[in-house]
Chains A and B, each alone.
Chain A
Amino acid sequence: MPRKKARKTSSNARRPGGIFRRVLVRLGLFGLGAVIGLGVPWVWWLDREAGLRFSERQWSLASRVYARPLELYTGTRVSAEDLEFELESAGMSRASPTSPGRWSRNGNRFDIHVPEFVFADGRQPAVRFEVDVREDRITGLAAPADESIGLVRLPPMEVGAILPLDARDRTLVSLADFPPLLVTGLQAVEDRQFRRHRGLDPKALARAAWRNLVHGQVVQGGSTLTQQLVKNLYLTPERSLLRKFNEAIMALGLERRFSKAEILETYMNEVWLGQSGGRAIHGFGRASEHYFGVPVQALGPEQIALLVGMARGASWYHPRRNPERALARRNLVLDMFLETGLIDDEEHRRAVDSSLGVRSVEASSARTWPAFMDLVQRQLRRDYRDGDLRDSGLRIFTTLSPAAQRRAEQALADGLDQVETTNNLAGLQGAVVLADPVSGEVRALVGDRDASRAGFNRALDARRQVGSVIKPFIYLLALADPDRFSLVTTLEDEPMSVPLAGQPDWQPRNYDGNFNGPVPLMNALVHSYNLATVRLGLEVGLPGLFHLMAQLGLDAEVTSHPSVLLGALDLTPLEVTQLYQPLAADGYSTPLRSITAVVDSSGQAVGRYPLRLRPIAERQALALVNFSLEQAVQDGTGSGLQWQLGREELSVAGKTGTTNDRRDAWFVGYTPDWLGVVWVGRDDNRPAGIGGATGAMPVWAQVFRHLPATDSRRSWPDGIEWYWVDWPENRLSAEDCPGARAIPFVAGSQPVDLAGCLDEPQDSPQRRRFWRR
């Protein structure tokens, strides 16, 4: 358009000499007009835009997901190996613990300096202390400063983050909370005139231009912090004069409208300080956590110098990828700190001599536990909007135990290798769920034998037939009617045929094809006899069974085919865990949880997931089922377990499950402290060639071999009495009679017949009620 106009003007000219001058004048006028007409609005717009965008800008803060913190106190059950793992997982580095975030170990003694951490229930200040670990427990906890401390929490491991859509990861820190050396040091290195200039520093610009001219290339930038901020916030990284111009105008605009403190604070939270996988590390707060595993307040001079140096080019001076360059840059920055009097000679010498001290990639790139994160995310998506999760900086405290998770993963991977080798098989898959039964807190979740693989999460999504895993609930239902059933009630394990409406008769069979005749009810469960169980199940009825399962916290799809009694029911490993939770928790049911608290970026609790208990009515019957399942592990279907486990002191109750044609192998087992469910099978649901005891139990044993155990014991509910029984007959006996066995009963449901060995008066209370609780 302008050019066309110009041409028109020249064509109209008549006198060549004057024409040239006139053209020039007109061109000049036009240029001036263009500058005023276009440039002024442009400048006005840029200036206004800079102000608007700055004042309207909101930080998108990623939500962070933390594991449960390890509580350290005298008596904590933890092995030295697990403690080391927890310390590393918490992001702490093994170095002299003079500053927070570091720990060292000397034999049994750990010297630990935890950084400050804000938990859901409050702030724990940085503290240095020593613990002694002997025989898998903490035998001493002391602070060197001789203050008495009863318990300390390790900072929890960061299990994952839910990033904003732009994948920028930052931890907001207000200007006052940055260490003073970082604030002044940054200015000393990047912009010494920051306090005085109005957005531009002409002297620095001229100096840079001169040096660049002398060197024939760009060696120095004269940008002020404000210009750099404008560039980071609003402009593309290309180097052009126009962009430089825009940058300058916007910098001036920012400075006119906002205080130095606001600008500096924004810069310090915005500056790009590296890339980690898919996430961009922005701001000194996050960078400190990412590279050193400590909050920014805990940084020493050498660490501050490294981060300040990286502001110039986080990729070029990356401490892991280019350590030498990063070290040289850091020392240069330290020299500037010394030169400007920010640190003294002594500090300078010590800092220059220190190593970069950046923690390992593994420690900082948040080990991925996709299966557990999957569970957490599902719970979060129920309660929060996606936008809030991505942008508002929630802190989510979960129940994951990093040490238990690691063991569960290892056990599934190794266990399946071993099962495949022993049985000459291939293509097995599996899942593990580990929970604290009493609190219902999920401690570990593995959904693939390669735990790092995200994708199909078998622990949550593999719906598989449960086989005999269902049986204890049939027995629970029966024993809840003590007028009819006790552990010594005789059941018939004989061939049977169940007529079904409109279908061929159903003829269940025993696992080994044999029949066991009349058996005590407890033995039918301990040895998992199908025929006796089906008989019992038909007596108590399917509707009752489904009702019970609903009581226990499981919504199973109701079917009427009696094969449900043998576990023709599809459940996920997590659902099975929920089903067994009340059994493992003495009859108090609670929903399984993976989250304990959600806190917003200001530290206010926005979600609490407290422990809520519900007693199930059948607690006495449940205690009898527990007793039977302990027997199952001692001499029933799970009798190989103690040998595989090698921990005599553990009181384990457990149940195997195997489905038709050996497609699925289950083992559910629990101690007073842990409930573990293992499923093994093939993804294509073809016969896998293994049963519960051969395929799943070995994995379970590997998980439990090293899990910490407390002194906690399962309790017997009120109203249970013990009697000597003439086992396996349904008759009372006495301790000194041959074959007598002590069996618990719901009071009043004990047998009335007496064994032949008893010749004393029949109703001698001493003899009969010798053992009660």
Chain B
Amino acid sequence: MQRIVVVTVVILLAACAGQPPAPVEQREEPVEERVRAPSQDEERGLQVYPLRNPAVTELTESAREAERAGDLDRATVLVERALRIQSRDPELIQYMAELQLAKGDWEQAENYAARSFDVGPRVGELCSRNWRTIQVAREEQGKTEGARRAGERIAGCPVEVPERF
């Protein structure tokens, strides 16, 4: 009897010890299902990307490997390293946004995606991924109105290349 009391107390105390653990639920995978896959239909040909640095490519590939292996922290570190080399690469910044999304850091996911949109082509597949990320991140933060506005922006992605002078 005494033992049961002790065990119960310990369990109760343990529950007070820290943050309650995040609810473990098997939801749809936000990045693949809700960002990457639906954006693939967008025209890629419209996009103007800066020339990729081979070092950045190598780091990004390692990051994708880490991501596939489920090691999101390592993937994040590698992308951060790549960002030190090309700090305004929209594709790289969007990748970071998606990693943050996968980690559940909604705020950073939204901010990185916004940054990617600002420095990016603002059309095509990347634009779609930008706004889908923002949409999901806002939904998760309970910003319904903001998520709806982000959803509207997705529709504006497949426009013609803006005139440049």
- Chain A interfacial positions (CB closer than 8 Å to B): 71, 73-75, 120-121, 150-151, 436, 438-439, 441, 586-588, 608, 610-615, 619, 672-673, 710-713, 715, 717-718, 770-773
**Contact across chains for A672 and B88 when beta carbons are under 8 A apart:** yes
**Contact across chains for B88 and A439 when beta carbons are under 8 A apart:** no
Q: B165 interface residue, CB < 8 Å from A?
A: yes
Would you list the 7 A-B pairs with minimal beta carbon distance, nearest first? A73-B55, A150-B58, A151-B55, A438-B87, A715-B119, A613-B111, A121-B77
A138's nearest neighbour on chain B, judged by CB, is B55
| Apart from A73-B53, A718-B117: 10 A-B pairs, beta carbons within 8 A | A71-B55, A121-B77, A436-B87, A438-B87, A439-B87, A587-B118, A615-B114, A717-B118, A718-B118, A772-B163
**Contact across chains for B111 and A614 when beta carbons are under 8 A apart:** yes
**Contact across chains for A150 and B54 when beta carbons are under 8 A apart:** yes
**Contact across chains for B112 and A613 when beta carbons are under 8 A apart:** yes
Query: Nearest Cβ in chain A — how far from B155, in angstroms?
Result: 15
In the bound complex, residues from chain B placing their C-beta under 8 Å from that of A614 are 111
Partner of B85, one of A71, A441, A610, A718: A71
Q: B135 interface residue, CB < 8 Å from A?
A: no
Q: Provide the B39-77 mask, 1 if CB < 8 A to any CB of A, else 0.
A: 000000000001001110111000000000000011011
Q: How far is the CA of A151 from the CA of B85 in the complex (A)?
A: 11
A75's nearest neighbour on chain B, judged by CB, is B53
Q: How large is the interface on B (under 10, 10 to 19, 20 to 34, 35 or more residues)?
A: 20 to 34
Q: Given the known inter-chain contacts A150-B55, A439-B87, A613-B112, please indicate yes or no for A619 contacting B76, CB distance below 8 A.
A: no
In the bound complex, residues from chain A placing their C-beta under 8 Å from that of B86 are 710, 712
Q: Given the known inter-chain contacts A75-B55, A150-B54, A615-B114, please indicate yes or no for A586 contacting B83, CB distance below 8 A.
A: no
Q: Provide the B68-98 mask, 1 if CB < 8 A to any CB of A, else 0.
A: 0000011011101101111110000000000
**Contact across chains for B118 and A610 when beta carbons are under 8 A apart:** no
Q: Given the known inter-chain contacts A150-B54, A712-B86, please indicate yes or no for A610 contacting B80, CB distance below 8 A.
A: yes
In the bound complex, residues from chain A placing their C-beta under 8 Å from that of B84 are 71, 436, 439, 441
B111's nearest neighbour on chain A, judged by CB, is A613
**Contact across chains for A151 and B115 when beta carbons are under 8 A apart:** no
SS class of chain A's interface: helix, strand, loop or mixed? loop
**Contact across chains for B162 and A619 when beta carbons are under 8 A apart:** no
Q: How far is the CA of A150 from the CA of B114 in the complex (A)?
A: 30
**Contact across chains for B80 and A74 when beta carbons are under 8 A apart:** no
Interface centre among A151, A436, A712 (most CB of B within 10 A): A151
Query: Nearest Cβ in chain A — how far from B7, in angstroms?
Result: 31
Q: How far is the CA of A151 from the CA of B54 in the complex (A)?
A: 8
Q: B122 interface residue, CB < 8 Å from A?
A: yes
**Contact across chains for B81 and A121 when beta carbons are under 8 A apart:** yes
**Contact across chains for B59 and A151 when beta carbons are under 8 A apart:** yes
- Chain B interfacial positions (CB closer than 8 Å to A): 50, 53-55, 57-59, 73-74, 76-78, 80-81, 83-88, 108, 111-112, 114-115, 117-119, 122, 162-165
Q: How far is the CA of A618 from the CA of B108 in the complex (A)?
A: 18
**Contact across chains for A588 and B162 when beta carbons are under 8 A apart:** no
**Contact across chains for B162 and A715 when beta carbons are under 8 A apart:** no
Q: Given the known inter-chain contacts A586-B118, A611-B80, A718-B118, please indicate yes or no for A773 contacting B55, CB distance below 8 A.
A: no
- A-B pair count, CB < 8 Å, reads 82
Q: How far is the CA of A673 from the CA of B55 in the complex (A)?
A: 18
Query: Nearest Cβ in chain B — how far from A610, in angstroms?
Result: 6
**Contact across chains for A150 and B57 when beta carbons are under 8 A apart:** yes
A716's nearest neighbour on chain B, judged by CB, is B118
**Contact across chains for A586 and B119 when beta carbons are under 8 A apart:** yes
**Contact across chains for B58 and A718 when beta carbons are under 8 A apart:** no
Query: Nearest Cβ in chain A — how far from B41, in angstroms?
Result: 23
Q: How far is the CA of A150 from the CA of B59 in the complex (A)?
A: 9
**Contact across chains for A619 and B78 when beta carbons are under 8 A apart:** no
**Contact across chains for A611 and B117 when beta carbons are under 8 A apart:** no
**Contact across chains for B122 and A615 when beta carbons are under 8 A apart:** no
In the bound complex, residues from chain A placing their C-beta under 8 Å from that of B122 are 718
In the bound complex, residues from chain A placing their C-beta under 8 Å from that of B59 are 151
Query: Nearest Cβ in chain B — how far from A644, in angstroms?
Result: 26
In the bound complex, residues from chain B placing their C-beta under 8 Å from that of A74 are 53-55
Q: How far is the CA of A438 from the CA of B93 in the complex (A)?
A: 12
Q: How far is the CA of A718 from the CA of B54 in the complex (A)?
A: 29
Q: Given the known inter-chain contacts A71-B55, A73-B85, please indicate yes or no for A715 contacting B165, CB distance below 8 A.
A: no
B112's nearest neighbour on chain A, judged by CB, is A613
In the bound complex, residues from chain A placing their C-beta under 8 Å from that of B54 are 73-75, 150-151
Q: Given the known inter-chain contacts A73-B53, A121-B74, A615-B111, please indicate yes or no for A439 contacting B83, CB distance below 8 A.
A: yes
In the bound complex, residues from chain A placing their C-beta under 8 Å from that of B119 are 586, 715
Q: How far is the CA of A73 from the CA of B60 in the complex (A)?
A: 14
In the bound complex, residues from chain B placing their C-beta under 8 Å from that of A73 are 53-55, 85
Q: Given the known inter-chain contacts A436-B87, A586-B118, A771-B165, please indicate yes or no for A610 contacting B76, CB distance below 8 A.
A: yes
Query: Nearest Cβ in chain B — how far from A397, in angstroms?
Result: 11
In the bound complex, residues from chain B placing their C-beta under 8 Å from that of A772 are 162-163
> What are 22 A-B contacts with C-beta separation under 8 Å?
A73-B85, A74-B53, A120-B77, A121-B74, A121-B77, A150-B54, A150-B55, A151-B54, A587-B118, A588-B111, A588-B115, A612-B108, A612-B111, A613-B112, A613-B115, A615-B111, A712-B86, A715-B88, A715-B118, A718-B117, A772-B162, A773-B164
Q: How far is the CA of A699 from the CA of B13 in the complex (A)?
A: 60
Query: Nearest Cβ in chain B — how far from A66, in angstroms?
Result: 15
Query: Nearest Cβ in chain B — how far from A442, in angstroms?
Result: 13
Q: How far is the CA of A615 from the CA of B53 in the complex (A)?
A: 26
Query: Nearest Cβ in chain A — how far from B61, in angstroms?
Result: 9
In the bound complex, residues from chain A placing their C-beta under 8 Å from that of B50 are 711
Query: Nearest Cβ in chain B — how far from A617, in angstroms?
Result: 11
Partner of B165, one of A612, A711, A770: A770
Q: How far is the CA of A587 from the CA of B117 in the complex (A)?
A: 13
**Contact across chains for A611 and B85 when beta carbons are under 8 A apart:** no
Q: How far is the CA of A772 from the CA of B77 in the complex (A)?
A: 37
Q: How far is the CA of A673 from the CA of B111 in the complex (A)?
A: 20
In the bound complex, residues from chain B placing their C-beta under 8 Å from that of A612 are 108, 111
Q: How far is the CA of A71 from the CA of B54 in the complex (A)?
A: 12
In the bound complex, residues from chain B placing their C-beta under 8 Å from that of A717 are 118
Q: How far is the CA of A619 from the CA of B118 in the complex (A)?
A: 10
Q: How far is the CA of A441 from the CA of B119 in the complex (A)?
A: 20
Query: Nearest Cβ in chain B — how far from A768, in angstroms?
Result: 14
In the bound complex, residues from chain B placing their C-beta under 8 Å from that of A439 are 83-84, 87
Q: How far is the CA of A587 from the CA of B164 in the complex (A)?
A: 23
Q: How far is the CA of A613 from the CA of B87 in the complex (A)?
A: 12
Interface centre among A436, A610, A713 (most CB of B within 10 A): A610
Q: How far is the CA of A772 from the CA of B164 in the complex (A)?
A: 7
**Contact across chains for A712 and B165 when beta carbons are under 8 A apart:** no
A714's nearest neighbour on chain B, judged by CB, is B88
Query: Nearest Cβ in chain A — how far from B71, in angstroms?
Result: 11
In the bound complex, residues from chain B placing their C-beta under 8 Å from that of A610 are 76-77, 80
In the bound complex, residues from chain A placing their C-beta under 8 Å from that of B55 are 71, 73-75, 150-151
In the bound complex, residues from chain A placing their C-beta under 8 Å from that of B111 are 588, 612-615
